Every structure is written in structure tokens, then in C-alpha cells.
Amino acid sequence: MRRCFFLKKMVLMLAMGALAAGTGRGAFAAPASVSGIQEYKQNISTQEYEKRYNAVYGKFTGQMAEQGNPADFMLDDGKDLFKKVEGTTGKSCASCHGENGEKLKGVAAGYPKYDPAIKGINTMALQINRCRKENMGAPELKYESYDQLALELYVKSLSNGVPIKVSIDGPARPFYEAGKAYYYMRQGQLNMSCAICHVKYAGHMIRANLLSNNRHHADHWPGYRLKWGKTGSLQKRFRGCNKKVRAKPLPFQCDTYRDLELYLTYQANGLPVAVPGFRM
Amino acid sequence: MVIGRIKIRVPSVIKKGEVVPVMALVTHPMETGLRKTKDGKVVPAYFINDVDVFYGNDRITHCDWTYAISANPFISFYLKADKAAPLKIVYKDNKGGVYQQSVQINPR
């Protein structure tokens, strides 16, 4: 967490410095470059990217997500957990949010979002744990444990089909910029940033795999991944990517990963929520 | 993870004589017996090696599987729905586990 805090501080300072510099240039500064980061452009056109993506993966992942997704078993368990009474107040999730979670329909499409109570970005996983602690008096679930993923999966699946609408206005803006700064920061022994692969070289091959662009990265987690052989969250995927460039992975739900999740989910704005996902 | 949970999908409305897709999913680790843990110990082989599909009293499909099949295997095949009968899928693994589930096919 210390490292995480340090990074955040550094990134915020950078962002503030850039803001100060930006105002000096007057009204001509583009809003996209507030944090002083020069954004990459995809090397190939969108049509070419779609063509290459379909040639490699086709409709396979989409079909499997609907028809043969092993995460469906977890979804059923999540539904049972939603109705299970736990904690000191004798409540379950269903006692406040409706028997089948009617009141939560569409809520997950607005997450992650800024929360003044924690002075930071609130993700769905964090919100579930906070709700358990504050309103149910139940112990927090360990991140990436089976129960935690199952509950998150079920709550998110209530918003299936609702377009993602993440706001970065107002107080969320500096956290979005911090997430973006992390996305563009070169790190690890290989000295790569997320953006090099997933923005600039999206559509090119990295050994035997096709690099995907970041538009569809955040709309279908938690999901089943063939390589893991089990269901995991987006932040588990972040850790995997960090390890691949030989950087040190950060802990789950730390400040930096939550900002990064906000940045990536904003890229997916307008796409429908589709959980559980299925990835190669 | 509970081993041997099965989900079978068939279309909700089936016409008599129609050829319908059937999809089945089972949870199983499908250990190859070639993998080692971090301590260097071999993880023993544990996989489904025999799948039978029954439609009524007839055995309509049989699969001999090896360790080359992925974890949580998914099978899909086509079925000519010409009678009202249960469709039963039976999985057997190399440690003697038997997992089965059936769905009723009611063509109209």
C-alpha cells in the first residue's frame, strides 16, 4: 500500500503541475491533455482492427459467454449468497435491495464512481464490502475469494444490458487523470506501459496473441478466463499484466488500481454491461 | 469449486422431429498429471475419460476423453428430437467419480 500511496502522490503532483502549466497557455489547451500526457493513436484503423480481431477470435468468446460459461455456476451461488442472512443486524442483501435485487438494476453501470466518504473512487467490490461492514455488521469478504467474486458477479449481472455510464466530472476528474497517468506510465524490467500494447499496437501480434484495444476491456468482469481455468476480476487481470512486463503487482482494490479501473471503464462508456464474461 | 456440477442447455420450445443443438458444461479440474506444484511435486492425473449420452433408452453419443481436454469441459452436439424422453449425460472420471444429469425433452 505504501508504494501505491507514493505512486498516487507522484501522479497527483504531476497532474497538478500540468494543470498549472495548462492554465498559462490560455484557452487553447485541449481538455484531453490536462494531465500533460500525450495520448497515443492506434497504429491501424478501426476497420482494420475489427477485421484482424474477427479473423483471430471471431464470435467465439461472445458465443461461449452466453452458451458455455463456467462462471454461470458462480452466478447461481452468488444469488444464494445475496439472500443469505449474515452479520449482527440479522439482514441479508435482499432485505434492503429487494428479493431478487430489483432495486439494484442498472446500478453497476455507474460504477466505479467518486465517493466523498472515502475521498476516492468506489468500485463495486469495495462497495459490497463497505455495505456488509456498515449495514449488515458482517465480516468483509477477502478480495478474489470465491464468495466475494460470486456476490460481485450477481450484483453486476443485475445490470446486464444497461449501457455503462461512468462520470468523470467534478471531483472524479483528478482520479481519472491519475488512472490515465498510470496507464501511460512505463514500468517493469521491460519498460512498457499499458497504453503501448493496448492503444498504440492494438491489432498487432504479440508472439501468438493478438493485442486487443482498450475499448472492450472493462465491460465484462468478473469473468471466466481460459488461461486461469477459473473466474477472476479485472484487478486480477491488472496484476497479471503487471507481472508480464516484470513490474511489481499492486494489492487488490488499492488506490491506483481503483483509479485505473475508472479510466478503463470510462473507455467502455456506452457499451452494455455483460457479465459473466468469457475470455481466452 | 464443487466438482461435477452440470448444466445442460436445450431450446425451450422444440418441434417434433426438429434437429436441436444441445450444450452441456461440467465443472472438473481435468488435471493432466504432467503439471508440477512449486515444490516440484507432480499433481496426480484427474480427468474425465468417459462421456455417455442417453436419449430415452438409447445411447446416442459416446466420447473417450484424455487429459488433453480443458478444465470445465464443454460439449455441444445436435439431437433429432423425435420422442418425449429424458436426455441424460453421464460423465465418469479416472478416480471413479460419476456425475450425471438429465433434462426432459418434450417435442410438440
pLDDT 10s digits, A120-136: 999 999 999 999 999 99
Q: Looking at the partner chain, which of B9, B27, B70 has a beta carbon nearest the beta carbon of A67?
A: B9
pLDDT at residue A31, rounded to an integer: 44
User: Is the Cβ pair B25, A68 closer than 8 Å?
Assistant: yes
Q: Residue A258: is its pLDDT beyond 90?
A: yes
| Residue in A67, A77, A224 to test binding to B, most B beta-carbons within 10 Å | A67
Domains and CATH numbers, chain B: 6-97 (2.60.40.10)
Superfamily, domain A2-25+34-68+165-279: Cytochrome c-like domain (1.10.760.10)
Q: Looking at the partner chain, which of A68, A70, A73 has a beta carbon nearest the beta carbon of B23?
A: A68
Please give the sequence-ordered ranges of beta strands (E in DSSP) within chain A, or none if there are none: 113-115, 120-122, 205-206, 209-210, 223-225, 230-232, 277-279
Contact B14, B107 (CB under 8 A): yes
Q: Check residues A26 and A2 and name the one with the higher pLDDT.
A: A2
CA A210 to chain centre: 21
DSSP state of B99: E
The model's confidence at residue A87, banded by pLDDT at 50, 70 and 90, is: confident
Average pLDDT over residues A91-98: 90
Q: Enter the C-alpha cell of residue B16.
A: 417434433
Q: Looking at the partner chain, which of A68, A73, A229 has a beta carbon nearest the beta carbon of B74?
A: A68
ipTM of the complex: 0.85
Contact A271, A216 (CB under 8 A): yes
Chain A residue with CA closest to B4: the answer is A73
- B residues 11-70 lying closer than 8 A (beta carbon) to A: 23, 25, 27, 29, 70
Chain A residue with CA closest to B26: the answer is A70
Average pLDDT over residues A96-105: 89
Q: Is A223 helix (H, G, I), strand (E, B) or coil?
A: strand
Q: Enter the C-alpha cell of residue A197.
A: 500494447
Residues of chain B neighbouring A73 (CB-CB closer than 8 A): 2, 5, 7, 27
Of A30-44, A64-78, B83-97, the poorest mean pLDDT is in: A30-44
pLDDT 10s digits, B53-96: 999 999 999 999 999 998 999 999 999 999 999 999 999 999 99
Sheet holding B98-105, edge to edge: B58-64, B48-55, B85-93, B98-105
Active site residue A131: no
CA-based angle A74:A114:A239, to the nearest 5?
A: 50
User: Is the Cβ pair B7, A226 closer than 8 Å?
Assistant: no
pLDDT at residue A18, rounded to an integer: 43
Contact A203, A48 (CB under 8 A): yes
pLDDT at residue B18, rounded to an integer: 92
**CB-based contacts of A196, cutoff 8 Å, min separation 6:** A40, A186
Contact A96, A132 (CB under 8 A): no
Residues of chain A neighbouring B32 (CB-CB closer than 8 A): none
pLDDT 10s digits, B11-63: 999 999 999 999 999 999 999 999 999 999 999 999 999 999 999 999 999 99
Average pLDDT over residues A80-85: 92
Residues of chain B neighbouring A68 (CB-CB closer than 8 A): 23, 25, 74, 76
The full DSSP string for B25-43 is EE----B-S--B-TTSPBP
Chain A residue with CA closest to B10: the answer is A67
Of A15-19, A67-71, B69-73, B89-93, the poorest mean pLDDT is in: A15-19
pLDDT 10s digits, A210-221: 999 988 899 898
Q: Min CA distance, B8 vs chain A (Å)? A: 9
- Residue span(s) of chain A under CATH 1.10.760.10 come to 2-25+34-68+165-279, 82-157
> Structure pTM?
0.83
With CA atoms as reference, report the closest residue to A78 among A11, A20, A141. Answer: A141
Query: According to CATH, what is the number of the domain A82-157?
Result: 1.10.760.10
Mean pLDDT of chain A: 85
Residue B92: how many other CB atoms lie within 10 Å = 16
Q: Residue A29: is its pLDDT beyond 50?
A: no
Contact B87, B22 (CB under 8 A): yes
Q: Residue A15: is its pLDDT beyond 50?
A: no
Using DSSP, how many helices (H) and how many strands (E) does chain B show? Answer: 0, 7
pLDDT at residue A34, rounded to an integer: 55
pLDDT at residue A13, rounded to an integer: 47
Residues of chain A neighbouring B27 (CB-CB closer than 8 A): 70, 73
Rounded Cα distance, A244 and A1, in Å: 21
Average pLDDT over residues A1-9: 47
Q: Min CA distance, A202 vs chain B (Å)? A: 28
pLDDT 10s digits, A157-196: 999 999 999 999 989 999 999 999 999 999 999 999 999 9
Residues of chain B neighbouring A230 (CB-CB closer than 8 A): 1
Q: Residue A20: is its pLDDT beyond 70?
A: no
User: Is the Cβ pair A229, B71 closer than 8 Å?
Assistant: yes
